[in-house]
Amino acid sequence: MKLLTVVGARPQFIKAAVVSRQFKSAGVEEVLLHTGQHYDENMSSVFFTEMQIPEPKYNLSVKGGAHGYSTGHMLAGIEEVLLSEKPDAVVVYGDTNSTLAGALAAKKLHIPLVHIEAGLRSFEMRMPEEVNRILTDRISDILFCPTPTAIENLRKEGFEHFDCMIVNSGDVMQDAALFYASLSDKQSQISQSLGLDKYVLCTVHRSENTDNLDNLQSIISALNDINDQTPVIVPLHPRTRKTVYDNGLKLNFKVIDPVGYLDMVQLLKNASLVITDSGGLQKEAYFFGKHCVTLREQTEWTELVTHGYNTIAGTTSSGIIQAYSEMINKTSGFDVSLYGNGEASQVIADSILQYFS
């Protein structure tokens, strides 16, 4: 059994870290292909090193560029590798341009396609991620869904009539949070070096917030105000950094470079609140018992909102400040299990082996 896994962006390295380990212990041969979508040391190689992800056999070095340009280059490069590696199946994660390129390359060559983190929907077709995930789901042969909501989304789209297998696997990011938490306690020094007792952890990088200057300005204005009450710390994505500096936006809060996952876990564990437009961080806030304010108009992780762990603030300054005030002192327990029990990677490895046996 030989799998070829396509990764390219930060959250995919984190997901692959736990799933690749499981493939290895199940005796599955895995060839890793990195598209090069993320390429800075602190956006890419830090994860491979500290999470002990196997070195990719291929790196296409497709660095940045417009959607069509970069997705097209990835597609051509992945196709070439698939033709020479001839894997039994291709594995893709999530909803990035690397996901779509890997999915298309595999499907056009009639190689079975496995989509991990399938079935999520924001119902906002202007999001590049929504386009990527809908197209990838539709052509996948095995769809691993992290939540019952994701399964239900596929059912409503008629997936029971398609020739594919749908599995409720739980969320591999829960596996990662559990697996790396103690390593992070041992290795990360970030809390001591920042020396902050109480702070709000924030990340912003989604295109709807960084390509839209009005949105970014009102988010920054809210964070500047919140920082007067509780210190705000932002590991800044390079995309956001570029927009901030190109437009001379003034930040009163603390900005640091993007950090590795082990540092991020410490930042999460010690935070008073998380404010983010990240998909992954919304869930990690919950994994580490923190409330979350989401800087978007909708979320794919609706169960967090239903349970009151997350609130959708939108992007107006007043909406964000109001959501901060509501969530900063909230004390609800985090005792409901929403994303499985940390065994999603094992379910995935076992199901793939069974499917191809």
Binding residue (CB under 6 A) for ligand UDP from 284, 310, 321, 348: 284
258 binds, among ligand UD1, ligand UDP, none (CB under 5 to 8 A by kind): ligand UDP
CB 338 within 8 A of CB 304: yes
Contact flag: residue 261 with ligand UDP (CB under 6 A):
yes
Binding residue (CB under 6 A) for ligand UDP from 4, 6, 11, 243: 11
Distance between CA atoms of 249 and 211, rounded to whole angstroms?
A: 14
How many Cβ atoms sit within 10 Å of the Cβ of residue 269? 18
Distance between CA atoms of 10 and 121, rounded to whole angstroms?
A: 20
CB 345 within 8 A of CB 322: no
Using a 10 angstrom Cβ sphere, with 0-12 exposed, 13-18 middle and 19 or more buried, the burial of residue 52 is exposed
Q: Under rule CB under 6 A, which residues in 153-212 are in contact with ligand UDP?
A: 203, 205
| Contact pattern for ligand UD1 over residues 24 through 63, marking x by CB under 6 A | -------------xxxx--x--------------------
Distance between CA atoms of 35 and 226, rounded to whole angstroms?
A: 38
Closest approach of ligand UDP to the CB of residue 274, in Å? 10
Q: Which is nearer to ligand UDP, 29 or 124 (CB)?
A: 124
Contact flag: residue 133 with ligand UDP (CB under 6 A):
no
**Helices (DSSP H) in 58-118: which residue ranges?**
67-85, 97-108
Residue 242 zone, left/alpha/beta (φ > 0; ψ -120 to 50; rest)? alpha
64 binds, among ligand UD1, ligand UDP, none (CB under 5 to 8 A by kind): ligand UD1
Closest approach of ligand UD1 to the CB of residue 346, in Å? 25
CB 277 within 8 A of CB 300: no
The crossing angle, in degrees rounded to 10, of helices 67-85 and 97-108 is 40
Q: Which stretch binds ligand UD1 (CB under 6 A): 95-103, 172-180, 322-330, 340-348?
A: 95-103
Contact flag: residue 72 with ligand UD1 (CB under 6 A):
no
Shortest CA distance to 20 belongs to which of 60, 58, 56, 54? Answer: 54
Closest approach of ligand UDP to the CB of residue 259, in Å? 4
Contact flag: residue 16 with ligand UDP (CB under 6 A):
no
Q: Which stretch binds ligand UDP (CB under 6 A): 50-58, 130-138, 179-187, 252-260?
A: 252-260
Number of residues that bind ligand UDP (CB under 6 A): 16
Residues binding ligand UD1 (CB under 6 A): 9-11, 37-40, 43, 64, 95-97, 128-129, 205, 238-239, 242
